[in-house]
Structure 1
């Protein structure tokens, strides 16, 4: 057996059992992938895939166990490569951060400014997506770090570390009547058209839960995946907005006003995720600590050692 066979099996599963797609992803031929998988099955003495004619349809029960072992082996191989790269080039390389628009736009600029000063030879890429896409990029080694509020904290295979806490803000035009209210209620918000995040982003589940708990129907007329879009439509008068606290800049958003509404929607935690079992290069630990100073290298290593009860943040 060899690593090529392992990669073919893993990619066949990732491509929903389409060997043609798996071959394209691995820059090889479909007959070659099929032959390698059959040879591995012959060597192991079990069928990895259930077939219908010449097409594979699903994993067999032993195939599921074999896939887990293959994933571990290939993860270790990738770790070996990264260890070599890290010791050969301690202060250079590529660094991919998978995150949402809000984090890329508001939380990362100061962090990355300092990071690039310390590591000018590291080439940073920001891959934006939904929380589920971000987690998928991390799990499939397309990113080194994942940063999001939703979607990664309970994702199998991802170690989610608490980065920072934040609360929502209500965004209104400069002369809006809610600015004179002493304490905003859910009932107050129910009187106005609302513009806020898509259901997959930035604490939207807490917004929906707060309205449901008070039995108030939220008039959400527009959903968006980033705060800049929300603020734009508030500014043109479509409604009032609910955004993450980090997304309001009084200097830039001069035509808008922000009202704290954490008492309505509670605290949210933005998590920084790393793949379980991954090897983190030295500059990745530096980035993590710049993003959240409580996440020292020791804390992160303890969290990744499968003994979370031994660390405190």
Structure 2
């Protein structure tokens, strides 16, 4: 058995058992992949996949166990490469970050700029996606570190740590009837068309739960994943926006928008930083995590990665 066979098996699973897509992803031939997987099965003495003709239909029970071992082996191979790069290339390499749009737009610019000053030979790759996509990028080693508010703590394959807390802000045109109200109520917001995040982004679940608990049914005029889009449509008069407080920080003086804190309605949200369990974190990855929050330290992260627990209070 060899690493090529392991990679073929792993990628076939990632590609929903489609060997054509697997071959394209790995820049090789479909017959070559089929042959390699068959040879691995023969050597192991078990079928990893159930087949219908030449097509893979599902993973067998022993195949599930094989896949777990394959993932561990390939993860450790990746760790060996990182360890080699750590000591051979010193402060050079690539930092791959997966984050939601809000984090990428409002939170990451300053830490990335600071990292580049400290490690000018490190190239940064920034990938944006949904919280679930952020988790997936971490789990398949496409990213070294992930940042999101929703979902990350739900994946057993990840080590997650709280990074910082934030609240939602209501955003209104300065001439809106509610612009002069000091403390908004759920009833007032429910009576307005609302412009908010898609349910999978930026604390939207907390907003929905607050209305449900009060048996209120707000009118959602528009859903978006981008805070700037929400603010743009508020400017057109479409409705009242609900955005993360980070999105209010770059509004210029004299803006036509008014921002009002609504933590008394929706509580506080926790953005979490995440790493794949068992991953070897190069020095600049740990430094970047420390730049994200003064609550994160190299010692804390190394303890969590070593299995000392990942439930840390802010």
TM-score bracket relative to the smaller structure: over 0.9
User: Residue 270 of structure 2 corresponds to which residue in structure 1?
Assistant: 269
- Report SS of the residue matched to 2:106: helix
Q: Check conservation: 2:159, 2:310, Cα contact below 8 A.
A: no
Q: Check conservation: 2:97, 2:125, Cα contact below 8 A.
A: yes
- The verdict on how the C-alpha distance between 1:19 and 1:305 changes in structure 2, with shifts beyond 3 A counting, is same
* Deviation of the 1:250 alpha carbon: 5.7
User: Residue 113 of structure 2 corresponds to which residue in structure 1?
Assistant: 113
User: Residue 167 of structure 1 corresponds to which residue in structure 2?
Assistant: 167
- The verdict on how the C-alpha distance between 1:213 and 1:312 changes in structure 2, with shifts beyond 3 A counting, is closer
Greater than 4 Å deviation, 4+ residue runs: 309-313
- The verdict on how the C-alpha distance between 1:136 and 1:309 changes in structure 2, with shifts beyond 3 A counting, is closer
- Report SS of the residue matched to 1:177: coil
Q: Partners of 1:182 and 1:12 in 2: how far apart?
A: 57
Q: Check conservation: 2:51, 2:58, Cα contact below 8 A.
A: yes
Task: Find out whether 1:129 has 2:102 as its counterpart.
Answer: no
Q: Partners of 1:25 and 1:183 in 2: how far apart?
A: 54
Q: Check conservation: 1:90, 1:282, Cα contact below 8 A.
A: no
* Deviation of the 1:90 alpha carbon: 2.0
User: Residue 10 of structure 1 corresponds to which residue in structure 2?
Assistant: 10
Q: Partners of 2:312 and 2:221 in 1: how far apart?
A: 44
Q: Partners of 1:141 and 1:36 in 2: how far apart?
A: 23
Q: Partners of 2:44 and 2:297 in 1: how far apart?
A: 44
- Report SS of the residue matched to 2:27: coil
Q: Check conservation: 1:299, 1:311, Cα contact below 8 A.
A: no
User: Residue 100 of structure 1 corresponds to which residue in structure 2?
Assistant: 100
Q: Check conservation: 1:299, 1:312, Cα contact below 8 A.
A: no
TM-score by length of 1: 0.97
Q: Partners of 2:178 and 2:233 in 1: how far apart?
A: 17
Q: Partners of 2:263 and 2:276 in 1: how far apart?
A: 31
Q: Partners of 1:257 and 1:192 in 2: how far apart?
A: 16
Task: Find out whether 1:29 has 2:12 as its counterpart.
Answer: no
User: Residue 281 of structure 1 corresponds to which residue in structure 2?
Assistant: 282
Task: Find out whether 1:295 has 2:296 as its counterpart.
Answer: yes
1:223-262 equivalences in 2 (<5 Å): 223-249=223-249, 251-252=251-252, 254-262=255-263
* Deviation of the 1:295 alpha carbon: 1.1
User: Residue 46 of structure 1 corresponds to which residue in structure 2?
Assistant: 46
* Deviation of the 1:115 alpha carbon: 1.2
Q: Check conservation: 2:162, 2:313, Cα contact below 8 A.
A: no
* Deviation of the 1:156 alpha carbon: 2.6
Report Cα offsets for 1:23-43 as digits up to 9, x if no partner: 111111111111111111111
* Deviation of the 1:251 alpha carbon: 4.0
Q: Check conservation: 2:161, 2:312, Cα contact below 8 A.
A: no
Q: Partners of 2:115 and 2:20 in 1: how far apart?
A: 41
RMSD: 1.4
Q: Check conservation: 1:150, 1:201, Cα contact below 8 A.
A: yes
Q: Partners of 2:249 and 2:164 in 1: how far apart?
A: 18
* Deviation of the 1:181 alpha carbon: 2.2
Q: Partners of 1:99 and 1:36 in 2: how far apart?
A: 36
User: Residue 66 of structure 1 corresponds to which residue in structure 2?
Assistant: 66
- Report SS of the residue matched to 1:57: strand
In structure 2, stretches of 5+ residues that fail to align are none
Q: Partners of 2:311 and 2:234 in 1: how far apart?
A: 46
In structure 1, stretches of 5+ residues that fail to align are none
